[in-house]
Amino acid sequence: MGIYNVFDVSASALTANRFWLESISNNMANSAATRTPEGGPYQRQMPVFQTLLDEATGQLKGVQVVGTHKDDTPGPLVYKPGHPDADPNGFVRMPNVNVVTEMVDMISVQRAYDSNVTIANAAKNMHQKSLEIGR
Amino acid sequence: MLVNYHQLNALPGRNDPLAAFNEFEDKFAQFGMQANPEFPTALDPSAMSVMNPGETRGFGDVLKDAIQGVSDSHHHSLELATNFSLGQPIDPHQVMLSVAQAETKVHLTSAVTTRVAQGYQTLMNMQI
């Protein structure tokens, strides 16, 4: 393992966080989308993370996104008689996106991104400090 | 670029670390300086070529490999930064991390070469 592995691990985590933010922004953008290509209202999406393992050495090399999971819980039924997607009783099935949950997730992503940047900076500082040994 | 070449600039071949190094190596070769084969190489091991047992490698070879690694890393970060500025879909953190990595490697290499040069000068200044 090279001493620069920390940078690669941080980079993988930062990429994963960016992907997470992407799905959050998708959820927010589609929080009122009642139509999707596959039919029905938009279902909330969330990324699935997996640890990245180096098969040859058996060492952990960070994290990766292996795909997105679709939240299948049905969204709320809202009474909107004039809506084009309303059923005969005037109810519309809305996306199961909770804006508050998405905001909380977004704050988590921001904090996680910050933490990983801090770790990369700490690694860089450690390398620079090591050059001062014996000076 | 953020990478600075203070130490390497002191040598000829300013823009190319490898050219600067070749000049540097010649000076050391005159004195037949050899690295201890058992001494662990401090720089990124992936940048080092594999050594066969019994084979002796000069200090110059070790340093040359290391500088090649630093040079590659620097070129890689430069390439990423250029593509990023051209609007390619590259994550900013990837650019910054590769620049930080290249910067750290250059600092490490310049620290090592400075230390060796100091040792050489100390020897040369010895009163006989």
For residue A77, give Cα distances in angstroms to A26, A42, A97. Answer: 21, 13, 13
Low-confidence ranges of chain A (pLDDT < 50): 1
Asked whether residue B89 is assigned to any structural domain, the reply reads yes
Asked whether residue B47 is assigned to any structural domain, the reply reads no
Q: What is the pLDDT of residue B108?
A: 86
Asked whether residue B62 is assigned to any structural domain, the reply reads yes
Torsion of CA A16, A22, A28, A29, to 10 degrees: -170
Beta bridge partners of A51: A63
Q: Which ipTM score applies to this complex?
A: 0.71
Domain residue ranges of chain A, discontinuous segments joined by +? 5-130
Mutate to test the interface with B, among A1, A3, A10 (most CBs of B within 10 A): A3
Cβ count within 10 A of residue A40: 13
Q: What is the pLDDT of residue A127?
A: 86
Cβ count within 10 A of residue B103: 20
Instruction: For residue B115, give the nearest of B73, B65, B59, B68 by alpha carbon.
Output: B59
Give the residue with greater pLDDT, B9 vs A116. A116
Beta bridge partners of A65: A49
Q: What is the pLDDT of residue B2?
A: 39
Q: Which of B45, B100, B107 sits opposite A120 (nearest CB)?
A: B100
Asked whether residue B13 is assigned to any structural domain, the reply reads yes
Cβ–Cβ of B93/A15 closer than 8 Å?
Answer: yes
Say yes or no: B94 contacts chain A, CB-CB below 8 A.
yes
Q: Is the pLDDT of residue B38 over 50?
A: no
Using the structure block, give the residue that is written with the tokens 């090399």: A61
Asked whether residue B50 is assigned to any structural domain, the reply reads no
Q: For a pLDDT cut of 70, what percent of chain B falls above it?
A: 57
Tell if the pTM clears 0.80, that is, is over it: no
Q: What is the pLDDT of residue B65?
A: 85
Q: What is the pLDDT of residue B35?
A: 43
Domain that holds residue B114: 6-34+56-124
Interior CA angle at B67 toward B66 and B73, to 5°? 95
Contacts of B94 in chain A (CB under 8 A): 11, 14-15
Average pLDDT over residues B74-93: 90
Structure confidence at residue B34 as a pLDDT band (50, 70, 90) = very low
Q: In total, how many domains does chain B have? A: 1
Q: What is the pLDDT of residue A131?
A: 84
Average pLDDT over residues B7-34: 51
Nearest-neighbour CA in chain B from A115: distance (Å)? 13
Q: What is the pLDDT of residue A60?
A: 85
Q: What is the pLDDT of residue B90?
A: 87
Asked whether residue B42 is assigned to any structural domain, the reply reads no
Say yes or no: B93 contacts chain A, CB-CB below 8 A.
yes
Q: Poorest-confidence range of B7-16, B64-73, B89-98, B110-119?
A: B7-16
The SS3 of residue A53 is: strand
Compute the distance between CA of residue A41 and CA of residue A19 in angstroms, rounded to an integer: 23
Dihedral class, residue B89 (left if φ above 0, else alpha if ψ from -120 to 50, else beta): beta
Q: Which of A3, A14, A120 sits opposite B44 (nearest CB)?
A: A3
Contacts of A124 in chain B (CB under 8 A): 100, 103-104
The single-letter DSSP state of residue B47 is G
What is the CB-side half-sphere exposure of residue A75 using CA atoms within 13 A? 24
Q: Is the pLDDT of residue B1 over 90?
A: no
